Amino acid sequence: MVRSTYDNRNGYLNTQMIRENTKKQAYRRSVAGKPDAGGKPDLRGLTLPEISRIVEEMNEPAYRAGQITSWVYKKAVGSFEEMTNLSRSFRAELSDRTCLNPLTSVQRSKSRHGPTTKYLFELGDGQKVESVLIGGSRRNTLCISTQVGCAIGCRFCASGLEGLVRNMTTAEIVDQVVQVRKLAGDTRPINNIVVMGMGEPLANYRQVLRAVRIINADWGLGIGARKITLSTSGLVPKIYQLAEEKIQFELSVSLHAADDRTRTSIVPVNRRYPLKQLMKACRHYTGSTDRIITYEYVLLKGVNDRFQDAENLVKLLKKDKCKLNLIPYNPVHGLPYERPDEHRQAAFVEALQKGGLQLTMRRERGRDIDAACGQLRLAESRKALEG
């Protein structure tokens, strides 16, 4: 299997360049993302009806399914032995039919400037992914990953520098929330989930939708649908597909530029789905779901922070019912991009507000711990290759 990324000059999938790197990292994909080497499903990725069917096949009372989901999602156990209200024989048969492979926490970095904490987790096949907990004592947002690496290849992002290795499984996506809940404790309850970590969520559509439904379910992790935000770099067909799901989750679109030339230069998927197609899909989504889309816009010095960029953004969004979130860039080692200074940021905000746009400016959180997507994993990966 060949990993995918976007060509630096042309923006299309470049497989030739990736073949050389694939051999170096083949050991990392030894199980190709399967939940268990024996093919058994991971309990953390199963729904209550699916667990109920397993219980029924085992000729056990139906209430056992609720006990299992309570252990797996509410009590966050890491082994069958911890399910103490289930008989030893029942646990043994359940372990024959399913598995429970929690993520391993390998690194935790806390910001000196606030409560932001970044977690690096190891998956069952040795791959590593990141999750970031942002917020204070009572209101916290967890940013979770959906892929190991990324194929989209946004020029300013660390996640895609080594291409896409594989999709994460439903269980791996869900378990980020489970493990951070355990590690953070009751003093930092997780109120919001943003699916904006490593990877393009809508490129792993089926697993991501299953995961957020488990995260939302009362028998699962119980986080409200409107407290869960899915994101996309602009996969137009998937936006149309998502509109048909009739779900209450929020949607965020990584815009980053309001003209095709600039956007293609930093978000190569724009070559395939240019702004006209993207905005048509977004307006269809809004009309079909009656949900407001949030547009994310990373401010890059001298690239998309000019007065003309602000004018283009006003023209693009002023008639839409939407939110705009400006994000000063978190620099990535080895990439040429910088964040604008505060004066430049303020001037950009003023131009947008004069144009009638409602916006928020995300304050700096976690810069000292490389909180931007993929930075911690990238550093660990480079250490491994060097060592």
Q: Which residues of 205-244 are buried (b: 16+ CB within 10 A; e: fewer)?
A: bebbbbbbbbbbbebbbebeeebbbbbbbbbbebbeebbe
Question: Is 81 one of the catalytic residues?
Answer: no
Helix then strand then coil, % of the chain, to nearest 5: 40, 15, 40
Catalytic choice (60, 130, 162, 172): 130
CB 98 within 8 A of CB 46: yes
Question: Is 130 one of the catalytic residues?
Answer: yes
Return the amino acid letter for 78: G
Mapped onto helix, strand or coil, the DSSP state of residue 13 is: strand
Determine the Cα–Cα distance for residues 255 and 234; give it in Å rounded to an integer: 8
Catalytic choice (143, 150, 157, 373): 373
Determine the Cα–Cα distance for residues 45 and 42; give it in Å rounded to an integer: 6
Determine the Cα–Cα distance for residues 43 and 35; give it in Å rounded to an integer: 9
Cα dihedral across residues 201, 275, 247, 356: positive or negative: positive
Return the amino acid letter for 249: F
Which residue numbers are catalytic?
130, 373
